[in-house]
Each structure stands twice: as structure tokens, then as C-alpha cells.
Amino acid sequence: MTLIRLGPDALRASRFALSPLAETLSRLITLRCEIDGGRPGPQARALADWLDGDPFAAGLLRLVSATKFLPDFVAIPPSSMTTRIDDELAQMRAVGDIAARATIAEARRFAWKSGSFAWADTDGVAACAAAVFARGWQWFTEPDWPRRRAVMERDIRHRAGVLAAHGWRQAISGIGKIRWAGPDAIQFSTQTHADLPVGDQGLVLVPHTGITGQWMCEAPPRFALVYPARGALEQVPVAAEGIARLIGEGRARVLAALADPTTPSQLAVLLGVSLGTVSGHLATLRDAGAVVGRRSGRAVYYERTALGDALSR
């Protein structure tokens, strides 16, 4: 098994971050799997058309969607909640051909699908990969980035609250197959890879909105763990018809979306309505005792009360 070894100062320096690159990778893998499943939606069909005319992109995405070891240059550790895709792509372009091909060879070793790897002999292979991810971001991630970001921010706020109350062990609980393996180690995988030594730069936790999939981003001494967010984008709940008839469809949708504390602006992007509409529904639900608002810094997070939970059930 593979362990994340935590140094004496690792947990103190650990934190959360967002990564447009990781979200794009998650989205491209999801669409590639839709193509393989034979029932692609409109975006997956657009991706298929692109890959049919671009052997490099086709080979790269075939590899990253079918390996237990991602090439390092597609898994860049982010640093903060304001990470920019341009900065991540710049780091990808800076990887030389020798290093890039070495990590591609390692990914091939752990791949469960074969195919031609002639694409990997391209000069400037990491720069070509950056061009693929730049297009993937522009076509499949950026148009919906506000809604995706809202889902990820809700996950981070939830885990940050658990962290404050119970510590890192509970905050990390429920992330994929992650397990604590002692006071200073986390089991990341049942595969046999070298253990990952996390030092005083800490472990960065990075959510993505896909249903499944977790991976490590490694650029020692920087390490990041990418994991599926709670309430992934495809799982935003739909209000039951009975409640919608009772309190109105708009308010029922807001109530259903408040499975986790959420700001009005996050609700607006999650539900695809205006901030004014959300604020009006929240005011009615608050007056009825179904939701309550709690200030955190400059933001107000709304959550369901016991009455709101009962209505939701």
C-alpha cells in the first residue's frame, strides 16, 4: 500500500485549495469515460469529434483516463483558493521532454488500456499537453466554473468546520478510500508505490466536482490530494414534487440545495437563478423557521433548521 507520511509540522501547515487544472482533468476523464460507455452526451460527442482529429490529445486522454499513476505534469499541486489556470499551465509547459517522457512511461506501466504511444515522442510534449488542457478548460470547464466552484467551496467549508471541531482525522474521513494508518501516516492507496513524505509545507486538499476519482499531485516538497467533493455537481438534489406543491417550486429547490451551509450567491449559481430570487426565497424560508443564517467573516451561510430537515425528508 502507499502511505502519505506526515512530518512533525505537516498537519499544522496543511490547508485547502482550488485547482482549475484538476477540475479540467476530472471533467475530461468523465467525458472520455462517457465516450467509452457508448452513451455520450453533447459535450462528450464534442470531445470525441476533437479527439478524432487530434492524435496527440486522443493518446494523452486515453492514458490519463486509464492509469493508476498520472503523469506528473498533468497533476500540478495548487497553492491557494485563488489558483489560476494560466499559472498551472505555465508550470506544465516548463517540464522538459526527458522528465515528461519518464513520467509518461511510469503512467504506462500502471495503465489498464494499451494503444499507440507515438504521441509521447512529440517535441515539447508537456507544452502540447498544456495546449490540450487549455482547450479542455475553455470548452468544458470554464463556462460552468462559477457553479463548480460553488460546489467545491461548500465542501471546503464543511471540512474546515469539521477540522475546527474534531481535527484532521475527522475532516479527511469519507474522502474516497483514504484511511489513517497511524498517528503520522495516511493510507492513500492499496497499490504499491513509494511512500510520500509530507514536510513543513503541509498537505494541500483539493476538491473536484466529479462523482469519483482521487489522485496525488507531486512536486516535492509540495504534495496535494485531489478528491471528489461532497454533493458533486451531478448530484445537486431535486426537490420532491409534494414539497414543491406545498411551498412553491423555487423555495423547495432552495431547501433541497441546503444539504450543506451555503451562501446566497453560491445558491444562485448552483440553481441557475438570480441572487434577488434566491434572497427572496431565503427570506420566506427564514421567516417560516425552515432555515437560519449564520455569519462567517463577510459571508452569511444559510442552513436548514430541524423544521427544514423535516420538510426536506
The pairs formed by 276-284 with CB atoms below 8 angstroms and a separation of 24 or more are: 277/250, 278/254, 281/248, 281/250, 281/251, 281/254, 282/254, 284/251
Mind giving me the DSSP string for 134-164?
HHHIIIIIGGGHHHHHHHHHHHHHHHHHHHH
Give the bridge partners for 299, in sequence order.
Answer: 296
Read off the amino acid at residue 36: D
How far CA 235 is from CA of 46, 90, 168, 259, in Å, comes to 23, 33, 26, 11
Q: Say what the pLDDT of residue 239 is.
A: 59
Count CB neighbours of 73 within 10 A. 23
> For 221, which DSSP code?
T
What is the structure's pLDDT at 237? 57
Answer for the pair 256, 312: CB distance below 8 angstroms, yes or no. yes
* Euclidean distance between CA atoms 257 and 270, whole angstroms: 8
Give alpha helix (H) positions in 78-144: 85-93, 97-109, 125-136
User: Do 256 and 245 contact (CB within 8 A), yes or no?
Assistant: no
3-class SS at 180? Answer: strand
DSSP 191: S
Q: How far apart are CA 239 and CA 235, in angstroms?
A: 12
> What pLDDT does residue 236 have?
54
Domains of the chain: residue spans and CATH = 2-16+147-228 (no CATH), 20-145 (no CATH), 236-312 (1.10.10.10)
Say if residues 22 and 217 touch (Cβ distance below 8 Å): yes
Q: Could you tell me the end-to-end alpha-carbon distance of the chain, in angstroms, rounded to an integer? A: 40
Taking alpha carbons only, the member of 19, 10, 134, 158 closest to residue 80 is 19
| Residue 69: DSSP 8-state | S
Report yes or no: 111 and 67 within 8 Å, Cβ to Cβ. yes
pLDDT given for residue 272 in this prediction: 85
Do residues 228 and 210 touch, judged by C-beta distance below 8 A?
yes
Which pLDDT score is estimated for 115?
82
The Cα-based distances of 71 to 75, 194, 203 in angstroms read 7, 15, 19
Helix/strand/coil for 189: strand
Calpha distance 201→288 (Å, rounded): 47
CA angle, 114 as apex, 113 and 120 as ends, to 5°? 115
**Which stretches of the chain drop beneath a pLDDT of 70?**
231-240
Give a three-class secondary structure readout of 13-48.
HCEECCCHHHHHHHHHHHHHHHHHHCCCCHHHHHHH
Bridge partners of residue 296, in order along the sequence? 299
